[in-house]
Structure 1
Amino acid sequence: MTLQPHPDLSGIMVTCAVVTVSDTRTFETDESGQLIQQLLLGANHSVGAYTIIKDEPTQIQGQIENLGKSANVDAIILNGGTGIAPRDTTYDAIERLLEKTLPGFGELFRFLSYQEIGSRAIASRAVAGVYQNKLIFSLPGSSNAVRLAMEKLILPELTHLVSQMRK
């Protein structure tokens, strides 16, 4: 049995910023950032900004703080830097900024990941929350993880979450 959430108001377009956190990716090689944009546009949302930044906590926090001031952005979707390697600092940088957390996002993401990749899902520090009245989603950098999070969690709830924040 597949559970369906209550219907959302149709016609709400959410404007998202896409941020890839990587020391090596370029605009040409950033498959995950491009995939996020394609999926957003395919769901009738818009991309208000797209950038690639190094996996440096000050750069990550600075980018989020700048996007948090933007009246044109409803949500920020980051990908990359959520593991436990020494250079994976996205979670640590974001966690300090979040005013509210959505623990269910990380929990469900790891559960769904476990169904696909097994116990390696425990290494993911995917997180979501709110900063400056903007939704923040932080995803692993792999395209498979991005597709999973976008299709199973973010896109089905994006309109609902933004409408809740606008109340």
Structure 2
Amino acid sequence: MQSKTMTEHKKHSPLHVKVGIITLSDSKSVSSHQEDENFVSSTEDLSGQIIKESLADQHEIVAYQIIPDDADLLLETIEKIRKVGAQIIISTGGTGIGKRDITIETIKPLFDKELNGFGEIFRYETYKELGTGAIMTRATAGVWKETLLVALPGSPNAVQLGMKIIKPELGHLVKHMKQ
């Protein structure tokens, strides 16, 4: 439920934003196929496809990459996607507590500003659904060089939840990043 003030404020936000998608997965990166410089395809990447499909009706997907869990490659990919015009980059995978999970440690130092509320709401909603196992999720979001970086877990259910939280605010966030 939104306040009248918030609804009025959002009216002045862009309706369409440019989004990049990154899936981090050692196994899925091996089975992916490069369509062109900015896009890949993989029938195995359910989480990346959920992000893509949830945004395609309203926003422009400018890039979609599937990469292995590699910090240097993640940084290169983020920069590449930002340079093709992405205002928001949503990643999935690599947010757990395993040895190969490097997403959070890689992107958090980039943040000019962290959106703590996103992670808090994500964990609260996960807790309501799954119980105390929610303590293992490290989903986060932050602003870097006027680009929003969102890091979601790799499970399709977690991605659906994350998109439910973040999608209604994408234009609003872009508006505020530019001010």
Output the TM-score relative to the length of structure 2: 0.86
What's the counterpart of residue 107 of structure 2?
A: 94
Alpha-carbon distance in 1 for matches of 2:115, 2:87 = 16
What's the counterpart of residue 4 of structure 1?
A: 2
What's the counterpart of residue 21 of structure 1?
A: 24
More helix by share: 2
1:24 is paired with a residue of what secondary structure?
Answer: helix
- Measured after TM superposition, the shift of residue 61 of structure 1 is 1.3
Runs ≥4 residues deviating over 4 A:
none
1:136 is paired with a residue of what secondary structure?
Answer: strand
Amino acid corresponding to residue 32 of structure 1 in structure 2: S
Residue range with higher mean Cα deviation, 51-60 or 8-17: 8-17
What's the counterpart of residue 45 of structure 1?
A: 59
**Do the aligned residues in 2 keep the contact of 1:69 with 1:132 (CA within 8 Å)?**
no
Q: 2:46 aligns with which of 3, 27, 31?
A: 31
Q: Identity percentage over the alignment?
A: 43
Alpha-carbon distance in 1 for matches of 2:91, 2:54 = 14
2:62 is paired with a residue of what secondary structure?
Answer: strand
**Do the aligned residues in 2 keep the contact of 1:102 with 1:129 (CA within 8 Å)?**
yes
- Measured after TM superposition, the shift of residue 12 of structure 1 is 2.0
What's the counterpart of residue 63 of structure 1?
A: 77
Q: Could you give the per-residue CA deviations for residues 23-75 of structure 1, whole angstroms, max 9, x where no partner exists? A: 01131200000010100013x111110000110111111111222333x2110
- Measured after TM superposition, the shift of residue 11 of structure 1 is 5.6
2:168 is paired with a residue of what secondary structure?
Answer: helix
Alpha-carbon distance in 1 for matches of 2:167, 2:79 = 23
Amino acid corresponding to residue 159 of structure 1 in structure 2: G
**Do the aligned residues in 2 keep the contact of 1:61 with 1:93 (CA within 8 Å)?**
yes
The structure with the larger Rg is 2
Task: Give the total of aligned pairs.
Answer: 162
Alpha-carbon distance in 1 for matches of 2:132, 2:60 = 35
Q: 1:64 to 1:11 in 2, by over 3 A?
A: closer
